[in-house]
Amino acid sequence: MVEQFIEWTTRLNETNSLAFAFVTVGTMIVVGVGIALVVELVFKILGIKTEKIEHHH
Amino acid sequence: MFDWNVYLPISGIEVNGFALMLLGFTVGVIGGFFGIGGAFMVTPALNVFGFPMAYAIGTDMAHIAGKSIVATAKHRKFGNVDLRLGILMIVGTALGIELGATVIMWLEKIGRIGPIVRITYMVLLFSLGSYMLYEYIKHSKGHEKKTTSDVGKARLAIKMQGIKIPPMINLKVSGFAISLWVIIGVGVFTGFITGFLGVGGGFIRMPALMYLIGSPTKIAVGTDLFEVMFSGAYGAFSYALKAKVELVAAVIMLLGAAIGAQIGTTATKYARGMIIRLYFAITMLLAGVSVIFKHLSEKNKDIYVPALNEWAMATSGFTDKTELRRWLYINKEAVREWIIQQPDIIQQAFFMEKAWSSYSGYLMLGSACALSAVIIAFFVRGFLRERAEVRIAEIAAAVVRRRMVIAATCAPTDLPVMMMGARIAKSMADEVVLLTCEEKGICEDYIQEGKRIFEQCGIAPVVEFARGKPYKEILKKASGANLLVIGSRPLNPLETEFYLGDNATKIVRRMTSSTLVVKERYKIRRILLCIDIPYSKNTVNMAKEIASATDADIEILHVVSIPTMFSMETPWLDISSLLPDFYRKEMGVLNGIKDELLGSGIKVVTVKLREGIVEEQIIMESVEGDFDLIVIKEGFFRTPFGLFLGRLSTNVATHSPHASVLVVKR
């Protein structure tokens, strides 16, 4: 499936650069958010707090 | 061995995937910590890996787009993103970039673009880095090291904030009001430099937000990343349109960068603002040195490129610059052969250009690895310190006042919880909280009934109410208590099959204090004290206290763990009577505990050894011996599989059919 996706994007890069640009940005967002969610879950299991920080103005 | 080499179909080169992921990870850590995209580190490093420059920039931009979303979301969670300031800065930055790009076009026309841009870049990096370093040293001398807040606002920022040209924008997150025109002006200024230098601009905006606008360091970091998110997405889109993004490489880098960005962002929580500035200053200075190397490389290029281009044009027949560049890239070997035949000065210039360019890339790569290692150390140290502080606070709270929280709905089904809670509370707690959690509504009659049960035992509980998901509310309200008492309804087959379990299981798993899960029995006559070796004194003490309060007998049980595959059923031979001889050392420990309990006034204490699967043996013993309460220490996960199968103590609490279970935590 990954190989098919790579082949498809390579072809898209040659045939339709606008679609390739959208696919590039979309892929980055989806992969980034996906990994972030997994890491967030790991942080939660480890007990790392992610609440608001108090700023000293 | 696993082959890490990855073929990149768009640029047609092969790179090491692991190195790409590592590069993404290190720059992700740095970007999350400093609030920058990190293009000035990634682009030369990618170039070292063999990426043609245009692909290096495009791929870098694409991975920055994904990474900065992750880091911005996390900074927003920490309250580090000033959205109002960020949006206004974007407007100014866009205008500034256009201005900068126009000046660049003019410089290109007069043929002075290369050296001017590089020299401006160097001056900027060195002056910014030196100023921040100077400021750090000045601050370190003038203040106590313990100061946790940011330094006072820079003089320039105070002057900027003094400009009262309406409309004034109230920046709640940053904590001050400032004129709209100042924000736009700073945006235009940073945008101009960004457009002029052709860089992402995070390293300019972050200091500008601190020194010109006056934002605290961490807010400058978060707000800058918010801008990087947009510039990265725009850059990725633009380079992808020009077919200069190697998507496979960008995704591989992002795999590392998204993890690194989370670590870097979380590390800002543990670092002082001034420390962030110090490391940022060091990064700037290193980047400055890298640009010097690049400058030396370009100087050598100027010596041999005219002759090379002349030869390439004659050989290939191309006159267009882009086509010529591509031809040179494809015919690398022919270029090398041509260079060897040239005079010494050309040969030397060619090799020196490559050498300085490599030094620049390696310096950035090395700096990225070293800096990210320092930031990860911050992260780990901060996390461990935070955990220790929470623990100390809990212990301190428990020492000052022993607080017991009894979580019950006060409905008839929870009567055993209140009965058992009331029986042991008198001797084990200074303050008793009756916590009533209901998702749908709370019945006043049940609360009165609950109070009456406690009053019969001479206890006046503090009644607290909670609405919402019971297990979440109980965990929140019972935080810091030294004992939590909860009920446990029988599991239905579905819950037994699936790992998630009921509310009691979830609470036992997450609660940091000791937790008593009350089953159907509320009178305590027999206690099964489960001992692991080495044993926990706290567990023995709690069993002792409950036995004293309820006048119960204690049986001390130790189960020698034998995995399923090795446990043999021997129906023709009962070996239980022989166990004490096999396990003399363990028996010595158990008898020592027995003597201690007898010495404390517990009337009947017996000792028993069993062999087999620990949870199974404990539950079997509790059923066979008709025990009312099992006291067990919460242990570590026995094997990596424990992460999925659960802790031993949690499993006993979940599956004990009749006896209540007290899980004693550290």
Comparing B171-180, B619-628, B631-640, which segment has the lowest mean pLDDT? B631-640
CA distances from B420 to A51, B24, B591 (A): 36, 56, 29
Which pTM does this prediction carry? 0.59
> Looking at residues B536-546, what average pLDDT do you find?
86
**Does residue B326 share a domain with residue B181?**
yes
Contacts of B65 in chain A (CB under 8 A): 25, 28-29, 32
- Is residue B475 domain-resident? yes
Which of B81, B210, B247, B265 to mutate against chain A (most A CBs within 10 Å)?
A: B247
**Does residue B117 share a domain with residue B223?**
yes
Sketch the domain layout of chain A as residue ranges: 2-43
Quote the pLDDT of residue B190.
Answer: 86
- Is residue B58 domain-resident? yes
**Does residue B532 share a domain with residue B515?**
no
In the listed set B487, B519, B551, which residue is the last one of a domain according to the structure? B519
- Residue B383 and residue A36: Cβ atoms within 8 Å? no
What type of residue sits at position B578?
A: L
> Nearest CA of chain B to the CA of A41: how many Å?
12
- Is residue B160 domain-resident? yes
Does residue A15 sit at the B interface (CB-CB below 8 Å)? no
pLDDT at A2 over 80: no
Range ranked top by mean pLDDT from A26-35, B26-35, B118-127: A26-35
**Does residue B318 share a domain with residue B248?**
yes
pLDDT at B2 over 60: no
- Residue B9 and residue A10: Cβ atoms within 8 Å? yes
Q: What is the pLDDT of residues B457-469, one digit of tens each?
A: 788 888 887 777 7
B74 contacts B261 by C-beta, under 8 angstroms: yes
> Nearest CA of chain B to the CA of A49: how many Å?
9
The number of distinct structural domains making up chain B is 3
- Residue B66 and residue A31: Cβ atoms within 8 Å? yes
Contacts of A48 in chain B (CB under 8 A): 266, 383, 386
- Is residue B391 domain-resident? no
Q: Which residue has the higher pLDDT, B494 or B79?
A: B79
Contacts of B218 in chain A (CB under 8 A): 53, 55
Which CATH number goes with the domain that contains B481? 3.40.50.620
B42 contacts B65 by C-beta, under 8 angstroms: no
In the listed set B384, B415, B447, which residue is the last one of a domain according to the structure? B384
- Give, as one character, the DSSP assignment of residue B213: I
Count of pairs with CB atoms under 8 A, one residue in A, one in B: 125
Q: Which two tokens stand for residue B642?
A: 């424990």
Q: Which two tokens stand for residue B437?
A: 């959690």
**Does residue B260 share a domain with residue B200?**
yes
Domain containing B421: what range?
401-519
pLDDT at B579 over 70: no
Percent of chain B with pLDDT over 90: 2
**Does residue B352 share a domain with residue B281?**
yes
**Does residue B417 share a domain with residue B269?**
no
Contacts of B250 in chain A (CB under 8 A): 24, 27-28
- Is residue B45 domain-resident? yes
**Per-residue pLDDT band at B555 (split at 50, 70, 90):** very high
Q: From the list B65, B79, B175, which residue is nearest A28 (CB)?
A: B65
**Does residue B354 share a domain with residue B211?**
yes
Asked if the interface predicted TM-score (ipTM) of this complex is over 0.85, the answer is yes
Does residue A18 sit at the B interface (CB-CB below 8 Å)? yes
CA distances from B61 to A31, B64, B518, B568, B663 (A): 15, 5, 58, 63, 52
Tell me the C-alpha distance between B26 and B5, whole Å. 20
Q: What is the pLDDT of residues B467-482, one digit of tens each?
A: 777 777 788 878 778 7
pLDDT at B617 over 60: yes
Does residue A56 sit at the B interface (CB-CB below 8 Å)? yes
- Residue B66 and residue A32: Cβ atoms within 8 Å? yes
Does residue B387 sit at the A interface (CB-CB below 8 Å)? yes
